[in-house]
């Protein structure tokens, strides 16, 4: 597969991800008044579930050739998640919220570490072997 085809596939995948994100945003805006009137937990749960669906479709529609570059970007996104989880857990008044915040920080940190290991190993496959 040549670089032009890979770039075209990357563009198509990115466009599809943007379309899914826009659809999720529109759905969240449609559900927001009802969910906010009910309870904040329900509103946040709705956003979380929509993010899960968008993430699932974005990840499973990536071609294998684009996996390594996207893993690097995913690691950067996970680092933002760690910062958000730390902020959310630090400002929580509820002990259960702090526990879930700690779990979120731990899982995101494991995701970052494992992602960098996988990316490093994948990039090592493309390096020329030293002879000698």
Q: What is the pLDDT of residues 35-82, one digit of tens each?
A: 555 677 777 788 888 888 877 777 677 676 666 666 666 777 777 778
Backbone angles phi, psi at 25, to 5 degrees: -65, -45
The burial of 100, by beta-carbon neighbours within 10 Å (0-12 exposed, 13-18 middle, 19 or more buried), is given as middle
pLDDT at 6: 66
User: Considering the entire predicted model, what is its pTM?
Assistant: 0.45
Q: What is the pLDDT of residues 70-83, one digit of tens each?
A: 666 677 777 777 88
Parse the chain into domains and list their residue ranges: 1-62, 64-132
């Amino acid at each position: 597969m040549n670089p032009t085809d890979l770039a075209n596939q990357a563009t198509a995948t990115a466009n599809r991800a943007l379309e899914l994100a826009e659809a999720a945003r529109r759905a969240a805006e449609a559900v927001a008044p009802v969910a906010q009137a009910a309870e904040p937990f329900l509103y946040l749960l709705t956003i979380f579930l929509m993010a899960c669906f968008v993430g699932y479709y974005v990840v499973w529609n990536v071609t294998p050739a684009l996996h390594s570059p996207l893993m690097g970007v995913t690691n950067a996104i996970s680092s933002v998640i760690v910062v958000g989880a730390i902020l959310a857990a630090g400002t929580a008044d509820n002990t259960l919220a702090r526990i879930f915040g700690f779990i979120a920080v731990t899982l995101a940190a494991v995701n970052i570490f494992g992602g960098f290991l996988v990316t490093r190993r994948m990039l090592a496959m493309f390096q020329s072997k030293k002879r000698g």
